[in-house]
Structure 1
Amino acid sequence: MSWFRTIRSRYTLVFSCLSLVFLAVVAASFLLISFIQSSVGRYADGASLIQNADRDLYQSRLALTNLLTNTTADAVQRASWRADTESNASQALQRMQTFQKLTVELDEIVTYLEPFSGLYQQWQKDTQLLLSRDTSSAEDIQQSLAQSEQVFSQLRELYDGSEALISKYAAAERKQIDQLAARFKLVVTVIATLVVLGSLLMAWIAPRRISDAIRTVTVDVEQISSGDGDLSRRINSKRLDETGDLSRALDEFIAKLGSLIGEVKRGCLSVQTQMQQMGVTAEQASQLSLQQDQALDMIVTAIEEMSGATKDVAHNAAETAHQVHQLSETSNQGQHALAKSTERLHQLSQQVQHAAVVVGDLANQSEQIASVTGVIQTIAEQTNLLALNAAIEAARAGDQGRGFAVVADEVRALASKTQQSTEHIRQMIQQLQSGVADVVSSIQQGVTLADNTEQLNTQVGMAFHSVQQSAGLIEDHALQTASATEQQSMVAHEITKNLSHLSDMSKQLNQIAQRIQLTVRDTLGSSDELAGRVKRFSV
């Protein structure tokens, strides 16, 4: 009977039963009143009816006696007495017949009145005979009256006996109705007492049970909301009514919120790991840049020495071969240093590209965290709307819904805290994304500078190759020493210029690496702050 599990169905059934009992009492009262209305006074009316019939019979006899004995009365008076005799006799008969119809169910009265018809006809016959002899002598009239007196007396005994019998039945009827009314009063009193007691009991139990259930949910929600972010706690309500449904819905919401917070934690850890790797990569890039700068200083020194040697060759042609050999050795050293610089620069380019990949992954993780916070924000807004609807419904329910209003306020407070936390997380993620964007821009600049530096190294290598060719020409063509020396001086100047530019680019690359390190440290700081805020939630 799942329909009986809810609070509404339980108390609806109870109050419906009380209403049915009340309706049954009302229906029984209506039936009793109808029975009393149809029964009370029936026999009492019969007694009144037979009394009037007896009076009519007596008045008819009295009018007949006056008519027969007062011979000196005028014609009008005698006609009045004759009319009274006949009309009262007729009324006595009609009322007796009505009485017989009223008491047709009473066998005792029916048996008692069986002689009535014969006696009445005999009396009526005697009366008509006396009326026809109203001009006879007084002695004859007195004799006739004496003869009809016996029939009249028997007829009146029937009327009087009928009155006594109907009075007996009227008293019995009244007693029966009084007993029935007394029993009904007792039953109604008992039922009314039970209904009142049941209503009072329900009025005491129902709000208390509802209040206890709501208070239980409220206490559990307060414990969760004040538990320093412990999202692993659950209400675990065993109730099957609306409060149980509310508790289970809150448990599901907290479980989903805990899952989202867990994903945010894992995202923060991943960001921290990747930013640490990026920091290591930036440190390596900075070291490689310093090494490249040192190598370029060595190359510049070598080129300066080569330029000095070239000038010496111009002033001292005799030492051309020796200077050319020295120039060749210096060129070899420069080319070797340039090869090392190119190799270091290639390593730096690979590290910067790896940093770009790591930063791209970081950007993706930031977007995923932003989407998760968006989902949390949506759930919090829906929870706030649900709590607002619950508060409205509780306000409609009046005092009985006051507990639901408290629960709804607690849920709204929890949803508001969640919205504030997600908003703060979103702002931190935006800062993180901004830092990542700066890192990506710096890395792109570093890649561009590395490519330019690699191109310049290629040019420097070509220049060294030209120097070697020039040295060979000097050795092979001593006569062309002057022009070759001039060309070598120009090449050395160009090399010095290119190396200076390369040194400047190396310094810029070092500055970029340092900015990357600063950005990584700032990003790690923001990530640590975000992780610290998320860690207060226990899932």
Structure 2
Amino acid sequence: MLHQFTVRQKLLGGFSLLILLLCAVVLIAYNKLQTIQNNITEIKEDRYPKIVLSQRIALNLLYISRGVRDGVLARDPQKVEQQIRNVEILRANNRADLDKMEPMLSTPEGRALFAKIRAAQDSQRPLFEPLYGLMRSHQTDAARDMLENQFAPTNNAFISALLSLRDRQQSRLDKSMQKAMDSSQQAVAILLGTALASLLLAMAVALIISNLITSPLRRSADLVHQIKQGDLSGLSEPIPPARDEAMLIARDIQEMREGLRQMVQSIQDNAHQVSDSARALSGMAQQVANGAQTQAEATTSAAASIEQLTVSINQVADNSSEASEQAQAAGQLANRGGHEVLESVGKIRFVTTSVDETARQMNSLTKEVQQIGNIVTVIRDVADQTNLLALNAAIEAARAGETGRGFAVVADEVRKLAERTTTSAQEITKMIGSIQQGVGQVVNSMGQSLDCVEGVSGTAEQASNSMREIETSADTIMRTIHSITGALTEQRSTSLSLAQDMEKVSRMAEENNATVQELATTSSQLNALSANLQSVATRFRL
């Protein structure tokens, strides 16, 4: 139930409870202090003033009694008048004090005692004038008799009534003092008890709130420590639905561990796939290297054949020139010319065979170039797959935040290698296209050369069959020899062009071989990066 409150609400609730307890303590203390204050006020403004007035009136009565006695005994009239004035002053003071005391009495008992005081005062009041007359006339005996028999009893009754009121007020004062002391002791006891109970309750509330806050935080700290050590295993403890921030943090950390576990598992799987792809790419690169080596050898062989063809064409051209020079003596050298024509036919057949062999090699070269194109297509597909895997790894690393930064760097390196591999594959594709175009041109040129050679061969056979007619057809032979010379010149140019094209093919084969070597190096680096990524991922225990 308490988990449905936030940490702020728990703290506010705990502090509110403490504030309420403090307010209760303050109210109780204020109530008791108010009671003590009322008792003190009652003592100060009611009990004590009445006692003081009673005591002062009684003391004045004693002074009056002594003044009357001194006046009775005095012989000097001035002293008698002085005593009378003093007595009147004291009487006036007593009347003022009694008038002041009367409104202060509120209880029936107090008013009854005050009535006795008033009665004693009234019974004493008529005695003063006769007593003053006796004192002024110096009737000492009569005055003494009146003093002892009339004045002294009334004065004593007056004092006795005052003392009764004073004793009652003193008793009430003592009760008020005792009540104030009891209230003070009760206040101290209640304050101490309430403070102790508040302290114990505050400690209990503090322990409960701290346990509610620190318990999920402690579990979260242990879980974070496990994640720090690379331990992503273990089952998540069920956390009930709550609004407590500490429990929300614990739930989020458990979800983060589960997400990290899935991400690391995905990284390990991707690393294995990248490693397998790198090994496959390395094998394909080796196959491409072997094909490039075969292509280079075939190109070298074709270049040698073309060189031989060029030499043969040059020889035929030389022979044709020589035949042209000796055409004028064809009549005399018919037999010798027949042998030379037969020799030319054999050489032309040799050239035909060489050109045909070269054409077959070129066709084989075209097929091998097509195989290289297929391999390059596979390399491009592997590079695209690697780039896609690197992109997925980068996305997962970005989701991981600070923890996946190392994975993002590895994924970026893998992506760069994949892009570089794609670029190399595109360059190889362009080179293969150029090679195929050059080979097509060579094949076309060789076809033309083959047609020309076959034409020359037919002409030579006709010359062999018509050798007997050479003597009569010298002019025709001259024109035929000139035609052969032009065809051989064209064949020489075609042969030179074919040699240059084969040289280009050879250079392209070398560049292709270098590219394949670079591709093999790239696949090795990709394999090493995959191994490094696997070693980083194996740091975590799933």
TM-score interval (norm. to shorter): 0.7 to 0.9
Deviations 1:221-243 (A, max 9, x none): 323322x4426664655686554
Q: By how many angstroms is 1:467 displaced?
A: 0.7
| CA positional deviation for 1:508 | 3.0
In structure 2, the partner of 1:469 is 451
Give CA-to-partner distance per residue, 1:451-483, whole Å, 9 cap, x none.
221222122112112212312431454433455
Find the counterpart in structure 1 of residue 285 from structure 2.
282
Paired with 1:24 and 1:534, the residues of 2 have a C-alpha distance of 66
1:348 to 367, 372, 376: 372
Q: Is 1:224 aligned to 2:206, yes or no?
A: no
The aligned counterpart of 2:322 is: none
The answer to whether structure 1 residue 520 and structure 2 residue 503 are counterparts is no
Q: Kindly, what percent of the aligned residue pairs are identical? A: 12
Distance in 2, Cα, partners of 1:499 & 1:242:
78
Question: Counterpart in 1 of 2:60?
Answer: 56
1:533–1:324 CA distance, 2 compared to 1 (3 A): same
Q: How does 1:128-167 map to 2 (within 5 A)?
A: 128-132=129-133, 134-136=135-137, 137-138=139-140, 141-142=143-144, 144-145=146-147, 146-167=149-170
**Given residue 432 of structure 2, which amino acid in structure 1 is its aligned partner?**
A
Residues of 2 paired with 1:139 and 1:280: CA distance?
160
Distance in 2 of aligned mates of 1:180 and 1:30: 8
Counterpart in 2 of 1:254? 257
Tell me if structure 2 keeps the 8 A contact 1:236–1:247. Answer: no
For residue 115 of structure 2, give the secondary structure of its aligned residue in structure 1. coil
Question: Residues 307, 118 of structure 1: CA spacing in aligned structure 2 closer, same or farther, 3 A cutoff?
Answer: closer
Q: 1:142: how far off?
A: 4.8
Q: Which of structures 1 and 2 has the bigger CA Rg?
A: 2
How much is the aligned-residue C-alpha RMSD, in angstroms?
3.8
Residue pair 2:226, 2:232 contacting (<8 A) in 1 also: no
Query: Once the 2 structures are TM-superposed, how far is the Cα of residue 523 of structure 1 from its aligned partner?
Result: 1.3
One-letter amino acid matched to 1:356: R
1:452 corresponding residue in structure 2: 434
Q: What is the SS of the residue equivalent to 1:113?
A: helix
Q: Please list every run of 5 or more consecutive structure 2 residues that lacks an aligned counterpart in the other structure.
A: 320-339, 461-479
2:176 and 2:288 map into 1 onto residues whose CA distance is: 121
Partner residue in 2 for 1:398? none
Partner of 1:318: 342
Does the alignment pair 1:126 with 2:150?
Answer: no
Q: How does 1:355-504 map to 2 (within 5 A)?
A: 355-363=379-387, 365-367=389-391, 369-370=393-394, 372-373=396-397, 376=400, 379-380=401-402, 418=403, 422-423=405-406, 425-429=407-411, 431-436=413-418, 438-475=420-457, 477-478=459-460, 479-480=480-481, 481-485=484-488, 487-504=490-507
Mapping 1:30-49, distance limit 5 Å: 30-40=33-43, 42-49=46-53
Q: TM-score, normalised by structure 2?
A: 0.76
Distance 1:285 1:155, change over 3 A: same
Secondary structure in structure 2 of the residue aligned to 1:230: coil
| Structure 1, unaligned runs of 5 or more | 381-417
Question: How do 1:21-32 and structure 2 match up within 5 A?
Answer: 21-32=24-35
AA matched with 1:451 = G
**What SS does the aligned partner of 1:40 have?**
helix
TM-score (norm 1): 0.77
Q: CA deviation at 1:38?
A: 1.3
User: What is the match of residue 80 of structure 2?
Assistant: 78
Mapped partners of 2:347, 2:298: distance in 1: 24
Retained in 1: the 8 A contact 2:7–2:213?
Answer: no
Output the amino acid matched with 1:520.
S
Q: Take 1:509 and 1:213, find their aligned partners in 2: how far apart are those partners?
A: 64
Q: Partners of 2:176 and 2:436 in 1: how far apart?
A: 130
Query: Per-residue deviation at 1:267?
Result: 4.6
